[in-house]
C-alpha cells in the first residue's frame, strides 16, 4: 500500500509540473486573455457597481497574475515536499532548492514563447510561494 501511495504522490507532482509548463507555454496573448477573463469573473461574482469593469480589470490584472504565480508554486511545494520527505532527512532544504530551480526553469522556458519573457521578479514571487508553503508543510509534518 505504501508503494501505491508513493506512486500517487509522484503522479500528482508530475501532473502539477506539467500544468505549470503548459500554462507557461501559452503565448502572451492567450495568457493575458485567460487572466482578464478570470478578473472579469471576479468582478461579476462580487457584483461591483461602483467601478467600471475596464477600470477594475486594469487595476487588478497585475495582482491576479502575480497571485497565480504564487499559488502555482505554493501548491507545487506541497506536492514536492510530500515526495521528498520520504527520501530525505532534510526535506525543507531540498524542497526549497527544487522550487527555486523549477521557478528559474519556468521563466527560462518563457523566453522561447511568443510574447512572453523571463522575469527575475516572477522567479521571486514563485520562490516566495515555495518558501511559505515549504515552511508550513514542514511544520505540519513534524507535528
d(CA 11, CA 14): 5
Reply yes or no on whether the pLDDT at 78 is more than 90. Answer: yes
d(CA 46, CA 43): 5
d(CA 60, CA 27): 21
What integer pLDDT is reported at residue 2 of this predicted model?
76
What integer pLDDT is reported at residue 56 of this predicted model?
87
Confidence of residue 1 (pLDDT cuts 50, 70, 90): low
- Each as own residue / partner, the long-range contacts of residues 63-67 (CB below 8 Å, 24 or more positions apart, any chain) are 64/35, 64/38, 64/39, 65/35, 66/122, 66/125
Task: Give burial (CB, 10 Å; 0-12/13-18/19+) of 102.
Answer: buried
Residue 72 burial (CB count, 10 A): 23
Residue 85 burial (CB count, 10 A): 19
What integer pLDDT is reported at residue 49 of this predicted model?
79
Q: Closest Cα to residue 110, out of 1, 35, 102, 84? A: 102
Over residues 79-91, the pLDDT tens digits come to: 999 999 989 999 9
C-alpha cell at 37: 477573463
**For residue 97, what are the contacts with CB-CB under 8 A and spacing of at least 6?**
none
Over residues 9-48, the pLDDT tens digits come to: 999 999 999 999 999 999 988 998 899 998 888 888 888 8
Amino acid at each position: 500500500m505504501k508503494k501505491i501511495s508513493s506512486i500517487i504522490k509522484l503522479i500528482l507532482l508530475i501532473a502539477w509540473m506539467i500544468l505549470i509548463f503548459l500554462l507557461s507555454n501559452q503565448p502572451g496573448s492567450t495568457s493575458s486573455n485567460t487572466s482578464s477573463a478570470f478578473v472579469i469573473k471576479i468582478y461579476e461574482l462580487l457584483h461591483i457597481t461602483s467601478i467600471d469593469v475596464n477600470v477594475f480589470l486594469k487595476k487588478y490584472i497585475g495582482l491576479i497574475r502575480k497571485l497565480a504565480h504564487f499559488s502555482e508554486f505554493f501548491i507545487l511545494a506541497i506536492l514536492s515536499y510530500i515526495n521528498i520527505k520520504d527520501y530525505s532527512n532534510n526535506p525543507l532544504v531540498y524542497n526549497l532548492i527544487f522550487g527555486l530551480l523549477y521557478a528559474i526553469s519556468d521563466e527560462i522556458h518563457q523566453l522561447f514563447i511568443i510574447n512572453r519573457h523571463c522575469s527575475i521578479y516572477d522567479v521571486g514571487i514563485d520562490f516566495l510561494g515555495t518558501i511559505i508553503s515549504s515552511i508550513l508543510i514542514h511544520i505540519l509534518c513534524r507535528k
